[in-house]
Chain A
Amino acid sequence: MKNQKKHWYDFLWIASLTYLILGFFNILFAWLGLLCFFIPLLISFGKGTKSYCNRYCGRGQLFGLIGGRFGLSRKKDVPRWMKSKGFRYGFLVFFFLMFFVMLWNTYLVFSGAQDLKQVVTLLWTFKLPWQWAYHGTLFHDGVAQFAFGFYSVMLTSTVLGLVTMVLFKPRSWCVYCPMGTMTQLICRVKSGKDR
């Protein structure tokens, strides 16, 4: 809103954008993305609110900016199934299954059973060569494997978010965002309501 005062956290979309760009130059920056996992969880567990979504989520702001201000969105309603509990929780479960597969692959590299793959996997399927963003690490290869895997998760969710931004409302990613679903669930449990 034009008449509402901007706060520092209204510019966190810059951090989100920077994060995505850094991944093209040095994949190890992908580790920073863990902040987008732990901060919302800590807020919902600690305070029982979704102020991460409500205020600080740079990804949501980025979609709001590109889809809203720049108008790259049809601004249509999301289909009914997309906001259903079944789809939202189903996507949460699927997302975390894929996350654990990624952690398992990281473990395999740490244990020496598998070699580092300098690849970013888009939409859990397409393996994009990404060796240009890897310049070695002082640590174990597994540290880099996690970075490739985690960046895959972040890029995949950004691409999905951009697609639904164009097709539906700018921030339609928020409807099925696994972190949003999870923090809402935590808040619900914390407040003592079962529905």
Chain B
Amino acid sequence: MPDGKRKRKKAKVDVSLCVACGCCVKVCPLSAIQIYKGIYALVDPKTCVGCGKCAAECPASVIEIKEEPNT
């Protein structure tokens, strides 16, 4: 990968506090987030570009945009 060392922003869900309401799923422009078995929101890190729409929408404010090392 050309930019293997650059850090990328991804949405991170605090699953212990997630209420699985699905507001994040509705706003995600890339369908990178889904509700896993009705328990919590699960981000697909390969698709997520860290735009932050889900974090803004989340009623419980349990999504953070964090920098992650590229893998």
**0/1 interface trace, chain A 27-52, chain B, CB 8 Å (1 if under):** 00000000000000000100011110
Q: Are B21 and A78 in contact (CB under 8 A)?
A: no
A53 neighbours in B (Cβ, 8 Å): 20-22
CB within 8 Å for A175 and B29 given contacts A48-B37, A184-B38, A187-B38: no
Residue-wise, chain B 8-44 has the 8 Å CB interface mask toward A (1 for contact) of 0000000011011111011101000001011100000
A32 CB → nearest B CB, Å = 23
Could you tell me if B60 and A78 are in contact, using CB atoms closer than 8 angstroms? yes
| Contact yes or no, B25 A78, CB < 8 A | no
Q: Which residue of B lies closest to A82 (CB)?
A: B60
Interface residues of A (CB under 8 A from B): 1, 3-4, 44, 48-51, 53-55, 60, 64, 77-78, 83-84, 88, 168-175, 177, 180-181, 183-184, 186-188, 190-191, 193, 195
Query: Can you give 19 contacting A-B residue pairs, CB < 8 Å?
Result: A4-B26, A4-B29, A49-B38, A50-B22, A50-B35, A50-B38, A51-B22, A53-B21, A53-B22, A54-B35, A60-B21, A64-B23, A78-B60, A88-B19, A174-B60, A175-B21, A187-B38, A191-B39, A195-B16
For A186, what are the chain B residues with a Cβ–Cβ distance below 8 Å?
38
> CB < 8 Å: which of A49, A64, A169, A174 contacts B35?
A49
Answer yes or no: B59 CB below 8 A from chain A CBs: yes
Measured CB to CB, the nearest residue on chain A to B25 is A54
A77 engages B22 (CB within 8 Å): no
Once the chains bind, are A175 and B38 in contact (CB under 8 Å)?
A: no
Bound complex: CA of A50 vs CA of B34, how far in Å?
A: 11
Q: Chain B residues with Cβ under 8 A from A173's Cβ?
A: 59
Tell me the complex Cα distance, A177–B59, Å. 12
Q: Is B38's CB under 8 angstroms from A174's CB?
A: no
Contact yes or no, B59 A55, CB < 8 A = no
State the CA gap A168–B60 with chains docked (Å).
Answer: 9
Starting from the known contacts A1-B29, A169-B61, 18 additional A-B residue pairs (CB-CB under 8 Å) come to: A49-B38, A54-B22, A54-B26, A54-B35, A55-B22, A64-B23, A77-B61, A78-B61, A83-B19, A83-B60, A171-B21, A171-B23, A173-B59, A175-B19, A175-B21, A180-B19, A184-B39, A195-B16
